């Protein structure tokens, strides 16, 4: 009886030790937000107060893009394509599966801290020999039956188990942010490719109209040659212009096909079954107000930064696990049940048995393995900290690049608009002079070439402004799936 009481007291004492124990290793402290106020060194025109320029874009500091940020372009076709991508993209589906798996692993890891209860049963045939009984009388071979519950519990007095759960939770957080990054990438790719398709369609249409002009010019030169007012050199020049402009279309059409195929992959369908709409920049609105999170907020919302932070958290918890492994491991086990050599009497009161045991395993000499692993865990934590810092710096650089790009896009578009208007005015004047006989056909062809280049340049600059607007939203990291998920 005294031994039974002592065993119960030992269990209670060890349990109290486990409850009062503290987790080994350093506690994770979330990195402080960078102490910077701006993304770019110089003040941008985008930051100036609104003006009468209807095409000007302005920043909204301190605001976060909406989860369904693509609706800023006010295009039903674009909205429909993004929804198709969110519903059918395999990469996003894989990210959802990885997140679900990570969350289940947290539950599995946490379950290991609870007492483990099982049911044991057995049947066997046994014969004892001299090695077991020595000189004692040896019983004849017998059959035994046993059944009953078992309980085991590992005392987490050093906190290694709690740190393991913490680490697994941090890895689940990493997967959640990876899922957010996949959401942002899928929506971003869908919008970027849709805008690229719209731009290429407009460029193809511009090139086709130029070719039509070249054919009309060749007819006019042919008529003039038949009338004897121009030489054969003028005809050859017009033919050369038509042939040169004809080289513009195949590359543009190839780029358009590649963009369509890429968008089909983002949607999760074969290119042959994509059924894509005919995107048109004229049916999309360029966002005039651009939400831009403050630098201090960027580190709290961009998925790749948050994922790097979660990795740092996991690495910090791993140090605690390595520290806890330096301490003894204590395990309590208990069992009770029924044992009998006769199945008919298995559940008799006399067949009841129970057992209570405590086990301790302490590292004494392991060749320095545990300490080396602990130092390696600390090194891994430092690596994760450096990776986090680099991720933040890269994010700041990408936002700065996008802001500068939008600034220069506005300047370029204005310059291209002036060049287009000037080239068109020059072409009209040159054609008028040609009809009056003041200039030759070569001057007309040169004016058309300049007008063609200016028009294509304007189309590309206009599309680039849309694309860089998307790049800014992606660099800011959006605000996660939210209600649009």
Please choose, from the candidates 477, 462, 473, 469, the residue with its C-alpha nearest in 3D space to the C-alpha of residue 57: 469
Mean of per-residue pLDDT scores for the chain: 87
What does the pLDDT read at residue 52?
62
Q: Give me the pLDDT at residue 54, please.
A: 67
Q: Which residue has the higher pLDDT, 144 or 199?
A: 199
Note the helical H segments in 89-230: 90-111, 130-133, 160-226
pLDDT, tens digit, for every residue of 297-321? 998 999 999 999 999 999 999 999 9
Task: Name the pLDDT band for 11 (thresholds 50, 70, 90).
Answer: very low
DSSP string, 335-385: EEEEEESSGGGTTSGGGEEEEEEEEEE----STTHHHHHHHHHHHHHHHHH
Give all domains of the chain, ordered by start, each with its CATH number. 31-113+177-327+369-484 (1.20.1600.10)
Tokens standing for 315? Answer: 């690495």
Provide the whole-model pTM: 0.84
More confident call, 442 vs 394: 394
Give CA separation, 431 vs 4, 231, 314, 444, in Å. 113, 18, 72, 6
- What is the reported pLDDT for 317? 95
Least confident interval from 34-48, 71-85, 381-395, 464-478: 34-48
CA pair distance 392, 32, nearest whole angstrom:
11
Question: Does the pLDDT at position 116 exceed 80?
Answer: yes
- pLDDT at 265 > cutoff 80: yes
């Amino acid at each position: 009886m005294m031994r039974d009481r002592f065993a119960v007291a030992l269990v209670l004492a060890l349990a109290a030790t486990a409850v009062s124990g503290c987790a080994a290793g350093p506690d994770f402290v979330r990195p402080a937000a960078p102490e910077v106020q701006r993304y770019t060194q110089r003040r941008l025109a985008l930051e100036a107060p609104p003006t009468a320029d209807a095409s000007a874009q302005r920043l909204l500091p301190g605001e976060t893009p909406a989860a369904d940020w693509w609706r800023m372009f006010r295009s039903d076709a674009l909205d429909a394509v993004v929804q198709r991508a969110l519903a059918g993209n395999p990469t996003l589906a894989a990210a959802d599966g990885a997140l679900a798996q990570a969350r289940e692993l947290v539950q599995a890891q946490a379950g290991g801290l609870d007492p483990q209860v099982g049911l044991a049963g057995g049947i066997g045939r046994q014969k004892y020999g001299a090695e077991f009984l020595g000189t004692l009388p040896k019983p004849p071979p017998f059959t035994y039956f046993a059944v009953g519950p078992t309980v085991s519990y590992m005392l987490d007095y050093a906190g290694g188990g709690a740190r393991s759960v913490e680490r697994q939770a941090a890895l689940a957080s990493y997967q959640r942010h990876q899922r957010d990054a996949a959401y942002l990438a899928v929506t971003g790719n869908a919008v970027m490719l849709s805008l690229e398709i719209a731009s290429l369609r407009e460029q193809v249409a511009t090139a086709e109209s130029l070719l039509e002009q070249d054919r009309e010019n060749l007819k006019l030169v042919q008529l003039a040659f038949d009338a004897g007012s121009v030489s054969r050199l003028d005809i050859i020049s017009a033919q050369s212009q038509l042939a040169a402009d004809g080289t513009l279309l195949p590359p543009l059409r190839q780029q358009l096909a590649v963009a369509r195929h890429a968008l089909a992959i983002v949607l999760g369908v074969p290119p042959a079954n994509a059924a894509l709409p005919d995107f048109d920049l004229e049916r999309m609105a360029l966002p005039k107000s651009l939400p831009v999170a403050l630098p201090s907020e960027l580190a709290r919302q961009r998925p790749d930064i948050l994922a790097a932070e979660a990795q740092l958290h996991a690495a910090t918890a791993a140090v605690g696990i390595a520290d806890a492994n330096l301490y003894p491991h204590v395990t309590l086990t208990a069992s009770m049940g029924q044992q009998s050599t006769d199945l008919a009497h298995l559940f008799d009161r006399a067949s009841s048995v129970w057992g209570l045991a405590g086990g301790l395993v302490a590292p004494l000499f392991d060749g320095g393995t545990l300490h080396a692993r602990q130092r390696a865990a600390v090194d891994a934590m430092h690596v994760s900290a450096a990776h986090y810092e680099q991720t933040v710096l890269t994010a700041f650089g990408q936002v700065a690049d996008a802001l500068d790009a939008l600034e220069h896009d506005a300047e370029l578009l204005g310059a291209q608009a002036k060049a287009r208007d000037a080239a068109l005015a020059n072409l009209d004047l040159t054609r008028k002079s040609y009809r009056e006989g003041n200039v030759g056909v070569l001057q007309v062809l040169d004016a058309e070439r300049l007008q063609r280049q200016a028009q294509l340049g304007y189309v590309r600059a206009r599309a680039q402004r849309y694309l860089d607007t998307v790049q800014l939203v992606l660099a800011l990291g959006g605000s996660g799936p939210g209600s649009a998920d």
